[in-house]
Structure formats: C-alpha cells, structure tokens
Amino acid sequence: MPDQYGLFINGKWVETQDKANVKNKYTGEVYAEVSKAGEKDVEEAIHSAHHAYKHTDLSPYERYKILNKVSELLQVRKEELAQNITSEAGKPIKQARTEIDRATQTFELAAEEAKRIHGEGVPVEAAPGSENRMAFTLKVPVGVVGAISPFNFPVNLVAHKIAPAIAAGNTVVLKPASATPISSLKLAELFEEAGLPAGFLNVVVGSGSTVGNQMMKDKRINLYTFTGSAEVGLKLKQNTGLNKLILELGNNSPVIVDEEADIDLAAKTLAQKSFAYAGQVCISVQRIYVHDSVMKEFREKLLDAIKDLHVGDPFDDKTDVGPMISEDEAERVEEWIQEAKGQGAEVLFGGQREGALFEPTVLANTDHNMKVVCEELFAPVVTLMSFSNFEECLNEVNNSDYGLQGGIFTKNVDKAFKAARKVEVGGFMINDASQYRVDLMPYGGVKNSGWGKEGPKYSIDEMTEERLIVMNLQN
Ligand SMILES: NC(=O)C1=CN([C@@H]2O[C@H](COP(=O)(O)OP(=O)(O)OC[C@H]3O[C@@H](n4cnc5c(N)ncnc54)[C@H](O)[C@@H]3O)[C@@H](O)[C@H]2O)C=CC1
Ligand SMILES: O=C(O)[C@H](O)CS(=O)(=O)O
C-alpha cells in the first residue's frame, strides 16, 4: 500500500476524493498517493492565507524561532527527506543529501534575516519647506505570496520561496510540481511541528493548468514567486496583471575555456558539474566554448573525467548520474540529438538512452542553429564549440535568449574581467562552471531567464514593500 498524503490547508491535513500517484522515478513503481486539490480546496487555501495575514500577527522573533526550528528539524529528518527526494525526483542520493543540507542553511539564513528587516531614515528636512519634518521607511510584508515550484529541487527551491516569505511576515499558498509534491508536504509537517500558526502555509497539489491557473487569477494573492520554464513564466506574466512577480526561469549556460586556462581544473570541474542530477539544473553547463589551441587537450581530459562518473541507480551511494524525471523527457533529448546529428553534430561520448536514463553525452561540431545549443536542453548533455577570437567568443556566448549564470576558465585577469563585464547573465563564475550556487548569494537571471532575485536576504527585499512615514513636528 503506497504512503498516503493529504493537502495542507489552514493548519489541517485535508483528504480529497481525487488522488494522484507519485512514482519512484527509477523503478517506475507507485510509492505514494496524494490528494489532488479541486477548485474548492484552492479557494480554501487562498482564503486561509488571506485570513491569517489579516488577523494573525507573528512577530519577527517568532518567525525567527519557527524558521530556525524547521532548519533543525530538516537535519533530524535528513535521511528520510533525502530518500524521498531520490524516490520522487530520481536524484542520486548523495546529491539529495546535499540538497537537504542546503535547505537547512536556507531556512537558517531566512530565520536570521527575519530579525533584521528594516527601513532607513529619509532626510526630508533637506527639502525647502520641510525643515520641521522627519521621515523614515518601514519594510512591510506584501501579504499573500503565491509560490509555484519546479520538480528539480523539491526541497531547496521550495525553501527559497516559503522561508523568505514567512521571514518577511507574509502568508503562503504553495503549489509544488506535480512530479514531486511529497517534499513540500513533508516541509509542511516540519512547519506544523515548529508551531507555525494555521493559514501561514498552505500546500495545494495539482496540475499547473488547474491549480496554477486558479492561483494566477486570484486577486487576494499579492505576489507570485515562480521557478520553472520560460514558457510557463510568460503565461504567469501575462495573467497576473499588476501584481508583483519573481520569475526564476531556464538557461542554456555557457562556459568559456580560454587558451590560458588550467585545463585540468576546467576538465575536472566541467565533468563534475555538467551532469549532476542528469543536467536537470537550470545552471547546468550546456555550451562550452574552447580556444582552438587547447581544444584537443581539453577534449581528451574532459572525456577521461566523464568516464569516472557512475551512472545508474540513484539509491546507490556511488551514483553521480541517475534517471531523468521521465522517459518522455529522455526521449525528447534523444530526438534533439538525432536532429543535431542530421545537422552535422558529432557524438564524442554517450548519446544512449535506456528508459529514463540518459548517458552523460558530449557533442562536438555544434552551432547556434541547433536546438541543443540555442534552446534549454535540461539534460546530461554538453556541446563543444571552438573559438580563436576572444571578442567573437563573447558575442557568441551572448547569442542566447537566456542569461542566468555563466563562467570562464582562464588565468588571465584582464580576460576574466572583460568577460564578467560583457557576458549578459545574473551571475558569472571565474575559474568555475556556471553551476555554482550557495544559498546566501543573490540568484536570478536576465533576458528570458527571468527577473527578481532569490537568496533569503534578496527575496525578502522582493517580498516586502517600502512604506514611508513622515512626521510633521510642531516646534
Ligand atoms: N532559474 C531557476 O532558478 C530554475 C529554473 N528551472 C527551470 O524549470 C524548468 C523545469 O522545471 P519544470 O517543473 O518542468 O517546469 P514547468 O515550467 O513545467 O513547471 C514549473 C511549475 O509550474 C507549474 N505550471 C505548469 N503550467 C502552469 C500554468 N499554466 N499555470 C501555473 N503553473 C503552471 C507546474 O505544475 C510546476 O509546479 C526548466 O526550464 C528549468 O530551467 C528549474 C529550476 C530552477
Ligand atoms: O535552478 C536550479 O536548478 C537551481 O537553482 C539549482 S541550485 O543552483 O540551487 O543548485
């Protein structure tokens, strides 16, 4: 009998008639059954969040205590939560454990930030005629936050939405990805145990086209925070009117390997960071631009390092690359590679699929007319392109609709900083892959990669309004 999960609405667990199966993404077995939210449940969740926001006060210190407690509980239940990620997302267990450690930090950071949300003094007395006035700003919560999350980091990317929202004094309606809802329901259990008052966090499970759509149209939601594809992000932008919106969308991350790079470091780092969680990380390396003069050496070293990766059962402690989220997704990647081969691409390594498992793959002879380069692959596949002129390479790197993070390997400081200035991204890594993130840093993209920043301090900024208070002093 699969484990059963209800929805979490107004501090209560709600079972509905309509159920969805959650499958183990490696074995395909159904391991959990979750209630699906109907229109009435979504209405109830939004109402509860709205009512709690209007009628229940939670002081900054209380928010700090609750978030800190959740952070501690994550460590207490670390193995259970990590095993769950591996089941519902197919993420290799060692990467799932790292995700729990990172989420622990995300909650801890948000807890700390809850105690230092403040405005600033405004010198209105400097304006002629305002000599007898004093002013300052307050940071007030936006109200109800609607959070919609993707499948790939079902704990930590959810943490990046709900922890800062609650730290800032908001209430939340969360819709997790249909493929990975259990992690969010487990987080709700932790909040319940940590003493979060009813209505502050509501979790509704269901598809984007039903639950997501209903959330998008509800005027009681003051801010939407979305992580997912650019396609759905655009829908949200078009349907949420004048409400605030944070969009964390896709990328086809570029990394430059310059002629003055440490080739061993570049090859080793790129082999490790391009295929983690089967490349289903939005800052996973996709486009590698290598200087002509070092291409041969880099290629050999990259392929050698990839051979050391363990591919297969995500529950095995040794596994580096497990299955993709579904067989359909792995088939899509197979089709894109076939299409690229038809356009002249060469498979240097991998390229084979077995069910949802896709081998780490390296493509050469690729160019910007191919989908594998210009669109987001979201798969364990990298493309190699060579360059001889650094300026032209930077133009090629920017020849993308996306701009989340990028990187360069070089010992030449001038080139490193030139690239850092010119490459159109939200974050740029020198002597590292695009896939670098720690949870305190500002994280977010430009162009079709979205706008608004995550990282608790930065999200809290987005999730609060600045209110000006002016005192008219009578002598
Ligand atoms: N920039 C970032 O931080 C990140 C971006 N991503 C991006 O997410 C994508 C992969 O994740 P997926 O879960 O497949 O993305 P997705 O866009 O298909 O789904 C994301 C969420 O949106 C919901 N949704 C789908 N249609 C909707 C609609 N019409 N209205 C409202 N909600 C709707 C889904 O149910 C899910 O909860 C990739 O493009 C990836 O790059 C993933 C992780 C981080
Ligand atoms: O966008 C993603 O897929 C993530 O932000 C992953 S990570 O950078 O937080 O690890």
Question: Which run of H or E residues covers position 261?
Answer: none
pLDDT at 1: 85
Which residues form ligand 1's pocket by a CB distance below 6 Å? 148-152, 157, 175, 177-178, 207-209, 212-213, 216, 227-229, 232, 235, 248-250, 282, 376, 378, 404
Residue 81 has pLDDT above 80, yes or no: yes
Half-sphere exposure for 474 (CA within 13 Å, toward CB): 0
From the list 99, 113, 282, 454, the catalytic residue is: 282
pLDDT for residue 230 is more than 80 = yes
d(CA 44, CA 50): 10
297 is known as an active-site residue:
no
Among candidate residues 185, 63, 180, 158, the one with its CA nearest the CA of residue 103: 158
What is the pLDDT, as a whole number, of residue 216? 95
- Angle at which helix 292-307 crosses helix 263-273, to 10 degrees, equals 50
Lookup: tokens for 371: 């989908």
Task: Give Cα separations from 91 to 76, 94, 469 (angstroms).
Answer: 20, 8, 49
Using DSSP's 3-state secondary structure scheme, residue 377 falls into coil
Task: Please list, in sequence order, all residues whose beta carbon lies within 8 angstroms of the beta carbon of residue 1, skipping any fewer than 6 positions away.
Answer: none
Q: Output the pLDDT for position 382.
A: 98
Q: Is the pLDDT of residue 475 over 80?
A: no
pLDDT at 390: 98
Q: What does 135-175 look like in DSSP terms, one character per residue? A: EEEEEEE-SEEEEE--SSSTTHHHHHHHHHHHHTT-EEEEE
The first and second tokens of residue 186, run together, are 């487990």
327 in active site: no
For residue 41, report the distance from its CA to the centre of ligand 2, in Å.
Answer: 30
Percent of the chain with pLDDT over 90: 100
Task: Tell me what pLDDT residue 465 has.
Answer: 98
Instruction: Grade residue 248 by pLDDT with cuts at 50, 70 and 90.
Output: very high
What ipTM, to 2 d.p.? 0.91
- Domain architecture of the chain: domains with CATH: 3-249+449-469 (3.40.605.10), 253-438 (3.40.309.10)
Confidence label for 153 from pLDDT (cuts 50, 70 and 90): very high
Quote the mean pLDDT of the chain.
Answer: 98
Distance 229 CA to ligand 1 centre (A): 4
258 — pLDDT class (breaks 50, 70, 90) = very high
Is beta strand 3-5 parallel, antiparallel or unpaired with respect to 30-35? parallel
Q: pLDDT tens-digit profile of 445-460?
A: 999 999 999 999 999 9
Q: Which amino acid is at 160?
A: H
* Beta-sheet strands, E only, within 24-113: 30-35
Summarize pLDDT for 270-295 with one digit per residue, the tens. Answer: 999 999 999 999 999 999 999 999 99
Task: Work out the average pLDDT over 128-150.
Answer: 98
What separation, in Å, do the N-terminal and C-terminal C-alpha atoms of the chain show? 75
Q: Which amino acid is at 18?
A: D
How many other CB atoms are there within 10 angstroms of residue 146's CB atom?
28
Q: What is the pLDDT of residues 162-221, one digit of tens each?
A: 999 999 999 999 999 999 999 999 999 999 999 999 999 999 999 999 999 999 999 999
| Encoded amino acid at 464, one letter | T
Q: How crowded is residue 82: how many other Cβ atoms within 10 Å of its Cβ?
A: 21
Q: Pocket of ligand 1, candidates 232, 435, 439: which has the most ligand atoms within 8 Å of its Cβ, to mutate? A: 232
What average pLDDT does range 76-90 have in this prediction? Answer: 98
